[in-house]
Structure 1
């Protein structure tokens, strides 16, 4: 089984969260609406330029606010909605995210 980098796992998690949010709130088809597609692109750009790299914590626990205010408010809404539902829709990804969160908290 191939081990994905920390950044790649975070990209996968945020993509699934945005997809879940968009399907339930905006666009029931598999395709993301333009706003959610833009948010996903922005989130991936932020992850590509994360100054912590492979040593990053989960975004919700990060000490640096790298999102602009409007985008930060939107991603918080997405995470609040999708986070609790991830265990039912994507249980393996949700568990890996919890493991990453715990690892990040142990480094503090």
Structure 2
């Protein structure tokens, strides 16, 4: 699995936690649990390196409660990543666009067979 994706989600959760729950460097229990769950889901994603963004993925592998939590984190942290981690945010956006485009093309090609 792409280590860059893991770093981005970890940074987003850390940014969210520092702003909402704790002022220290350690994640609170709830955010640590979410991070472990998200990293485990990324590690076992059946699409591997070709994984699209979760919003475009045909398989929803997060359970509903965790999906809502990660959406909240991403809505909050996503825009702030450009200020806090600009290089990582831009790389993520580039990879996201490229992977989504490539994944969509493969899905369409498989449907036309």
Report the TM-score, using the length of structure 2 for normalisation: 0.87
Deviation above 3 Å: which 4+ runs of structure 1?
none
Q: 2:45 is matched with which residue? A: 50
For 1:21-40, list aligned pairs within 5 A.
21-40=16-35
1:8 paired to 2:33: no
Does 2:57 match 1:66?
no
SS of residue paired to 2:72: helix
Count of equivalent residues: 103
> What is the Cα deviation at residue 68 of structure 1?
0.4
Q: Mark the runs of 5 or more structure 1 residues left unpaired by the alignment.
A: 1-5
SS at match of 2:59: coil
Distance in 2 separating the partners of 1:13 and 1:59: 13
CA contact (8 A) 2:53 2:100 kept: no
CA distance in 2, matches of 1:87, 1:60: 20
SS in structure 1 opposite 2:18? helix
TM-score normalised by the chain length of structure 1: 0.90
SS of 1:32's equivalent? coil
Structure having the higher Rg: 2
**Aligned counterparts of 1:34 and 1:90: Cα–Cα separation in 2:** 24
Deviates more, 1:23-32 or 1:58-67: 58-67
